[in-house]
Amino acid sequence: MSETKTPAASLGAPRATGNLRSETPVEWLISDSLVDYEEAVRFMEARVEAIANGTARELIWLLEHSPLYTAGTSADFADLLAPARFPVHRTGRGGQFTYHGPGQRIVYVMLDLNRRGKDVRAFVAALEGWIIDTLERFNVKGEIRGDRVGVWVRRPQHAPGAEDKGAEDKIAALGIRLKRWVSMHGLSINVEPELEHFSGIVPCGISTYGVTSLSNLGLIVSMAELDMALADTFEDRFGPIAR
């Protein structure tokens, strides 16, 4: 397998069945300032190649971007409702349109599936589970849906009944690409972004549900607190990180 592009949650349940752990510590990088998107992609591509060649360690990179929209490999440009609002980047990850901006934790995941089982479904499910485990640290119950991507939280106040369509919002997105069985791109969790910025697209092609954040749920969570939770729950599922 040379390259795979895959969307997120439709591929599996939140608990992985394969062995995704490696006991080789993963490098953990946090960028404190906004990172240019194209520079981030160039960095990922070079790092993924080095990981595949055995000359660099696996890497988890946590960062934020300036406001922008990205189009995945399945994007329908009819879903780009405000094309002049923010820069639009075509990207090789799976999925459709999404928004990135300040207040959103982007997690770029560069892991070598050659040493983690070469099971794409299990890998995506483990990433979903990682998000869900992280949200649980803040008493937020994240869930996945078989018919739509991302991690969702129930919002029963949005509809007459808790099970009614529309009574939940997306809090996290996921889209990856595999090159030589090494992953790139990754996931995003809404901490305190400007949610109105999502109105310039149909997020992930889904127009009948909303978008939320930890702040929108009434929680005051800093990026540093989220990062600590991400580190702890990552180790539970994927193995040690180099601290």
Return the active site residues: 204
What's the rounded Cα separation, in Å, for the pair 128 and 107?
A: 12
Rg for the chain (alpha carbons), in Å?
Answer: 17
- Please report how the helices 120-136 and 223-238 are oriented relative to each other, as an axis angle in degrees rounded to 10: 140
Nearest residue to 145 via CA among 94, 206, 234: 206
CA distances from residue 234 to 111, 156, 179, 181, 190 in whole angstroms, order as listed: 12, 30, 22, 19, 18
Residue 45: CB atoms within 10 A of its CB come to 15
| Strand 68-71 with 88-90, pairing | parallel
Between CA 58 and CA 60 the distance in angstroms is 7
On whether the CB atoms of residues 71 and 94 are closer than 8 A, the answer is no
Least Cα distance to 57 among 22, 32, 30, 91 occurs for 22
DSSP 8-state class, residue 110: E
